[in-house]
Amino acid sequence: MSRKKKRSHRNVSFWTAGKSLCPNGSIFKVLYAHRLAFRTLVRKYSCDLCYTPMIVAADFVKSIKARDSEFTTNQGDCPLIVQFAANDARLLSDAARIVCPYANGIDINCGCPQRWAMAEGYGACLINKPELVRDMVKQVRNQVETPGFSVSIKIRIHDDLKRTVDLCRKAEATGVSWITVHGRTAEERHQPVHYDSIKIIKENMSIPVIANGDIRSLKEAENVWQITGTDGVMVARGLLANPAMFAGYEETPLKCIWDWVDIALELGTPYMCFHQHLMYMMEKITSRQEKRVFNALSSTSAIIDYLTDHYGI
């Protein structure tokens, strides 16, 4: 782990189980799942909470190298949830204890449908193992004593929604702080998101529920928030395309691109990541010809020259 500083937990106590994520009743806006530089960018544009990308708890516990490459944070990177892939309560609680001084909570990934993750017993296959989820939550609760430290889960839904509600109730009874629901089954990819199912889950829970899936603008976020009755929304691809989305921008403003260049260079972002994010952000505001040229650039200085020539930044 690098660039870490221990932080106080006192300003995030509103996450504790049973309380609303946003005490003033407004929409709670969450980014899934990015590295420090991109988290820094979206926090500038009204994102309330950020998650790290999924980290395999077993590797994190066993290897200092894995810790250093997978987890970087700094004082401004707050509030922060570290998401783990796990299938073992002891390893997960060990990982939680390691990150506890540098984060505000951990999340258990119960939604990743990738084949490798399912084969290892991680991700979406956990929605069929409510007892294991319960044991993992319990063990983290027992091992991490920091007040206000959250333990959340992110799930996909079952074909039979009763099973999802049962899973969520068991998790709630064990002390999970909130649940994020990507409203698709593990098999679904591009099918419409089942917001009606997210609504039913929310109606059956006392803890906060966050809705996720196919939200591409602040207007859509507010709509999903209202129709599901949830406490907040989580966005992944919408923010990749427009990191200023939560601040109400319909397209990535040039100022945001400029901010990304500043932040990424200041934090020493690897070139591939720096370039890739710009490609996502500029997707909507560049022509096909411009994309061809921009996507083929191969150095930071070439990118800065391009941006200066085309956008005056």
Ligand X SMILES: Cc1cc2nc3c(=O)[nH]c(=O)nc-3n(C[C@H](O)[C@H](O)[C@H](O)COP(=O)(O)O)c2cc1C
Sole window of 13-21, 106-114, 277-285, 298-306 interacting with ligand X (rule: CB under 6 A) = 106-114
Q: Is 109 in the site for ligand X (CB under 6 A)?
A: yes
The DSSP call for residue 34 is -
**Residue 205 vs 210, nearer CB to ligand X:** 210
Return d(Cα 210, Cα 97) in angstroms, integer.
25
Return d(Cα 260, Cα 35) in angstroms, integer.
13
Q: Is 197 in the site for ligand X (CB under 6 A)?
A: no
Whole-angstrom CA distances from 14 to 119, 132, 201, 214, 301 are: 36, 27, 21, 27, 44
Sole window of 73-81, 93-101, 230-238, 253-261 interacting with ligand X (rule: CB under 6 A) = 230-238
Q: Is 213 in the site for ligand X (CB under 6 A)?
A: yes
CB of 78 to ligand X, least distance (A): 19
Number of residues located near ligand X, criterion CB under 6 A: 18
Q: Is 275 in the site for ligand X (CB under 6 A)?
A: no
The packing angle between helices 195-203 and 218-228, to 10°, is 50
CB of 1 to ligand X, least distance (A): 18
- Residue type at 293? V
Return d(Cα 74, Cα 36) in angstroms, integer.
8
- Asked if 112 is an active-site residue, the reply is yes
Catalytic residue among 50, 78, 100, 112: 112
CB of 8 to ligand X, least distance (A): 27
Site string for ligand X, 78-97 (x = CB under 6 A): -----x--------------
Helix%, strand%, coil% for the chain, nearest 5 = 50, 15, 35
DSSP string, 213-225: SS--SHHHHHHHH
Site string for ligand X, 148-187 (x = CB under 6 A): ------x---------------------------x-----
Cβ atoms 215, 238 nearer than 8 A: yes
State the residues that interact with ligand X by CB under 6 A. 32-33, 53-54, 83, 109, 111-112, 154, 182, 212-215, 235-238
